[in-house]
Structure 1
């Protein structure tokens, strides 16, 4: 048994703003010649925060609204912060986001635009997590911890319900693996209702902590990360999340940076999608192991589209767009 509850996940759909639900799921024929398999895309970028994270923050914010302390703080690589700011603004919450000053400028600017208080730290995401925890203790407010807080996992799990309810004949789902909320949430639902579907988690070779932990069945930390996929670049997995992941993931694989960039290019050229590196991990996994997926129908979750455009142009070779 994981920490997740199917009844709560179904109930979450009544709380989450419909703008984040029932995101597009479609087969992308144009990708198939390049990948050698049937590929369907679950597009989690077509919403006001351009990532799946608001499914979870909607649950958090709904439970905090109207309480004696309608305030929250989180650490974020960018997407969770945007999502919490958006959900909090709609429900009158005071939101603080702690992020690395090295996070993509586009993500930081969007957090500010959503009226959250933004505090920047020198260091990476795990440094920001320590600072957010300290602020929560000092100010006596809710600390929102991605993947540890069950709302973030069960919010993400509603994606799994949509995959199952669509009744597609797919063989595997490729899920970006960072802290683990998306993988444990979607994985829980698939193993409950579609146990024959293979749940494959994908992480960058330069940020392998959770994958190593899954393989060794114990928490394995790393001293640093080295990847363009900032959204999944954690160093310190959470034991409770790992315990859930061990029950629902069939495999966890690591991919190279060159494959991530190639995946971003393919999604731009053949699907017309501008995505952040984390969202291309599933395509990268297919590129690195074509034989494994040959002849199969695979779903990849496009989990985020908040990308620093100058960096994106460097990675993909796409020409920048100039105004008049």
Structure 2
């Protein structure tokens, strides 16, 4: 068992670059090595060279597949026989369901009642059993862990897990390997697992790289936590970015992000929709609101990035046609 699997890397660090490298080997040939997209239009708008890591084209439609598969494929035969359980609004749910199917185990997923319909349907189609809850009245993690205990399932957290974080870090590893050196890496933040993994990989390869996280303005738990020097809990945020409706950063993810993240930028929901439309029309790619957040932050602060090589993670593309149209028309928010 690696140090990441055991949950303790050297010196109390949750994961190391070696754990990200190991995850890259584990997911190779299973996860997509997603392309790096470029656009002269976007470069002109920002004065920067933008390198977009298209995780909206990942299996199950988001970066979450990397961490879920890294974790589930490492389970013992006894654990696989028990089945796995997770809690998610959709992207991690789909990733766990698909990963479980690929390794031959079953998945039970706790999803909010108001999860996007397309995400729930996809999760069911991958073979998972869905249990619903009220995200505004119930604690999803407590409810999911009770469910796991009652049914003997192995919990697979969405972000606060060393194996999951290491898997997510392979997105930055691939981006730097394929696109070359970066001055800045901009990453959407929710529970912090994607940033924690990407920060671990990026700092090892590019010690001077600037790391910027992005949250919806209504869901600024990480920004508040970094300012306070400790994790801060907020009410469940009301935002169209359902993948970023987290109340508090993860304990393990925060240990990395509090040391590595240089700044957190906030974006309004309107900017997310504008960015979704821009990517659709100019780059010919579909992203969901959370997946648009990092680019929205760059577009909203063009002088901040001018003259720099900027890596941007497009974290997910799970927006069904009806929801995409409703968001663009303003009917969904």
SS of 2:155's partner is: strand
1:24 aligns to 2:35 (yes or no): yes
**Unaligned 5+ runs, structure 1:** 319-324
Partner of 2:119: 107
Q: Cα RMSD over matched residues?
A: 1.9
Contact 2:185 / 2:211 at 8 angstroms: preserved in 1? yes
- 2:196 is the counterpart of 1:173: no
Mapping of 1:248-287 within 5 angstroms?
248-287=260-299
**Alignment map for 1:181-196 (pairs within 5 Å):** 181-196=193-208
Residues 56 and 286 of structure 2 are in contact (CA less than 8 Å); yes or no, is this contact kept in structure 1?
Answer: no
* Gap change, CA 1:124 and 1:83, over 3 Å in 2: farther
Q: Distance in 1 between matches of 2:76 and 2:56?
A: 26
Matched, 1:77 2:89: yes
Shift of 1:184: 0.5
Show the counterpart of 1:9: 20
- Contact persistence 1:199–1:248 (CA under 8 A): yes
Q: List alignment gaps of at least 5 residues for structure 2.
A: 1-10
How far residue 126 of structure 1 moved from its aligned partner, in angstroms, is 6.8
In the alignment, what sits opposite 1:128? Answer: 140
In structure 2, distance between residues paired with 1:293 and 1:229: 24
Q: Secondary structure at the match of 1:157?
A: helix
Deviation track 1:22-50 (CA, whole Å, cap 9, x = no partner) reads 21113322322333322111111223301
1:119 aligns to 2:110 (yes or no): no
- Aligned partner of 2:236 among 224, 228, 231: 224
Look up the SS of the partner of 2:41 in the other structure: helix
Provide TM-score, normalisation by structure 1: 0.92
Q: Contact 1:19 / 1:47 at 8 angstroms: preserved in 2?
A: no
* Alpha-carbon separation, structure 2, partners of 1:123 and 1:23: 32
Q: Structure 1, residues 142-164: CA drift from partner, whole Å, max 9, x if none? A: 11112211111000111122123
- Which one of the candidate residues 70, 73, 77 is aligned to 1:59? 70
Q: TM-score, normalised by structure 2?
A: 0.90
Per the TM alignment, residue 96 of structure 1 is displaced from its structure 2 partner at its CA by 0.3
Give the aligned partner of residue 322 of structure 1. none
Q: How many residues align?
A: 318
Structure 1 contact 155–185 (Cα < 8 Å) conserved: yes
| Cα distance in 1 for residues equivalent to 2:46 and 2:259 | 29
Equivalent residue in structure 2 for 1:234, among 246, 254, 259:
246
Q: 1:194 to 1:17 in 2, by over 3 A?
A: closer
The answer to whether 1:38 aligns with 2:54 is no
Give how far 1:8 is off: 2.2
